[in-house]
Structure 1
Amino acid sequence: MSHVDLKPMSGVQVAAPVGFRPLAAHWFLIVGVLAMIVPTMVSVAQQSWSTEQGAHGPIVLATGIWLVAILRKEFVPLIRPGSLLLALLVLVPALAIYALARVTTTLELEGFALYFAMVAVAYAYLGAQAMRMLWFPTIYFAFLFPPPDSLVSTLTQPLKLGISRAAVAFFDLFGMPVARKGVIIQVDQYDILVAAACAGLNSIISLSAIGLFYIYMRHNANWRYALLLMLVIVPVALLANFVRVLLLILITYFFGDAWAQGFLHGFAGMVMFAVALLSIFAIDELLSPVRARLSRRIAA
């Protein structure tokens, strides 16, 4: 394998891969990338990260950048420029969609168009081998952007109906005056709307992002066990949001609607998310015999 010698300040010879050019040499590319990233990320931070649906965004950004930094020693020696044609096949339509989304102020479309454009640029600069080393951060950064509203509405409607139906059936067992009309739960004279925040999808997205990071850091080498643990996230998130709805019904019944829709509504969401995350950690520990058996099988 041929190499080009670089001379750092210390005077020690360091081998660099053929075709590698310092990122600072691509100043025009840097300016163009920043011109796309900065306005979009400001909009995402203002419109998504300040809500319950996108509260995991800053965590994903910080941990994703940190992960790329600690992988730098591993992927830098693998850098070879990727196929320009293949990169353009993704970059050109992504830029067209990005421009359309900016004009129409469609943040969800704009975010994912930016994501695919940046993946294409990274591939063109780093090449396939380095991108394979960075497969997890590449997927992980997709959680920075909010999912399309149409997708959220489609997925949450059956979840909202199921959770509201189960909550009413639960309290019927204890004779509480609770009824349901669609996704609206009637408690005495009060109506509780089971919205998307209570349907579980927000928690599934947030738990998936943080759970993926946890699984990658702890069980990167054991992909079978990592897949098993990922499957646990969905039922844990749904159960946590079901308990959240039960708590909101109890608060409304005993203290009134003002208490349930005020601070306690957001507080219940935070508590349930923390409990769900701790539950995933606990399940991971309980499944340690399964993890050990899979590790022995892989070693064999």
Structure 2
Amino acid sequence: MKKITVLLALLLSLLYFRTFTWLINAWLTDPYYSHGFLIPIISGFIAWMTIHKRKEESEFKPEPFKHGIFIFAFGLLLYAIGFIKLFPFVSAISFLFTLSGLILYFYGKPTMRSFLFPVSFLIFAIPLPLLVLEKVAYVLQTVSARHSASIIELLGIPVTRTGAEIHLQDASFIVGLPCSGMNSLLSLLALATVFIYILRCPRYKKAVLLSATIPIAISANVLRVTSLLLLANAYGADTAIGFFHTLFSPLLFIIAFILLILVSIIIGCKVTAGGGGG
């Protein structure tokens, strides 16, 4: 069985070589997916922990499920469509199906159930089509600009806004797509998914927590933009777009994750070493 596993891994690597090359290039060049390298590492670690745990419990016994071949075939069909149409996103998605189909076919349903999370988690490494990313980022860009300007106005500071452009008395800013919070949202969703996986609580609470990730990420970005506007109003635009512009991104990401942890505590979720609770 080990020889078959190694052989299949080699064959998949050859089949998906072009897709993997596209993914690596995207992780290197797309600012929205700079976290992409971490996803397969985390997924692989969780898979390894799962195998180790099942071996300790003497549960790692292959129970082949022949119908897994249909999922594998569906994955190959998706791959062919992506390959022919030069649509790498579809080819990358197909990998999740071909891998799942092979696990089912050779190892069975219980093993696939255990590997469902690490396999599904790989979706966070696959860049969404540019058109989708730009549309979502545009919405986030507008939301961040509108709410930040509203907060500044509530604080009694003169401000006008035109779309994503915000004008103070002595400075003007454009909340560009890189400042939309899209990067933080994608990274936080991936981190939140792992965090939720290791929590011990009912599935509906996990769903609530995952849903809360989106407004938390958006709120954190609004706070970031607002803070920069306050700095610009007090100390000038150069101060706001310099050191603090760089500092606030990771700082607000950390704050957003802390807020997520607080929400998990409030709804009664606890961390479990085994993961996958609920």
TM-score range for the pair, normalised by the shorter chain length:
0.7 to 0.9
Aligned residue number for residue 281 of structure 1: 261
- TM-score of the superposed pair, with normalisation by structure 1: 0.75
Distance change (3 Å), C-alpha of 1:89 and 1:36? closer
- 1:94-140 superposed Cα distances (whole Å, 9 cap, x missing partner): 22134236xx4x55444324344433343333333321121211221
Q: Larger C-alpha radius of gyration, 1 or 2? A: 1
Aligned residue number for residue 70 of structure 2: 86
CA distance in 2, matches of 1:47, 1:262: 27
Secondary structure at the counterpart of residue 77 of structure 1: coil
In the TM superposition, residue 246 of structure 1 has moved relative to its aligned partner by 0.7
- TM-score of the superposed pair, with normalisation by structure 2: 0.81
* Residues 1:64 and 2:50 are matched in the alignment: no
Distance change (3 Å), C-alpha of 1:110 and 1:48? farther
* Residues 1:55 and 2:34 are matched in the alignment: yes
Gaps of 5+ in 1: 1-20, 292-298
CA distance in 1, matches of 2:262, 2:247: 22
In the TM superposition, residue 243 of structure 1 has moved relative to its aligned partner by 0.3
- 1:24-78 superposed Cα distances (whole Å, 9 cap, x missing partner): 2355533321124555444433433565422332332222111101111426324
Q: Which runs of 4+ in 1 moved over 6 A?
A: none
Select between 159-168 and 181-190 the one with higher mean Cα deviation: 181-190
CA contact (8 A) 1:88 1:120 kept: yes
CA distance in 1, matches of 2:211, 2:91: 29
* Residues 1:206 and 2:187 are matched in the alignment: yes
Aligned residue number for residue 122 of structure 2: 141
Aligned residue number for residue 264 of structure 1: 244
Aligned residue number for residue 34 of structure 1: 13
CA distance in 1, matches of 2:148, 2:195: 31
Q: Find the partner of 1:236 among 212, 216, 237.
A: 216
Distance change (3 Å), C-alpha of 1:257 and 1:114? farther
Gaps of 5+ in 2: 271-277
CA distance in 2, matches of 1:174, 1:144: 40
CA distance in 1, matches of 2:94, 2:246: 31
The one-letter amino acid paired with 2:187 is: S
In the TM superposition, residue 207 of structure 1 has moved relative to its aligned partner by 1.6
Aligned residue number for residue 81 of structure 2: 97
* Residues 1:162 and 2:138 are matched in the alignment: no
How many residues end up aligned between the 2 structures?
A: 266
Select between 76-85 and 149-158 the one with higher mean Cα deviation: 76-85
The one-letter amino acid paired with 1:228 is: V
Secondary structure at the counterpart of residue 57 of structure 1: coil
CA distance in 1, matches of 2:247, 2:88: 28
Aligned residue number for residue 275 of structure 2: none
Distance change (3 Å), C-alpha of 1:175 and 1:234? same
Identity among equivalent pairs (%): 19
Secondary structure at the counterpart of residue 70 of structure 1: helix
Select between 151-160 and 233-242 the one with higher mean Cα deviation: 151-160
**Coordinate RMSD, CA, aligned:** 2.9
CA contact (8 A) 2:79 2:92 kept: no
- 1:175-199 superposed Cα distances (whole Å, 9 cap, x missing partner): 3242211122223464422234433
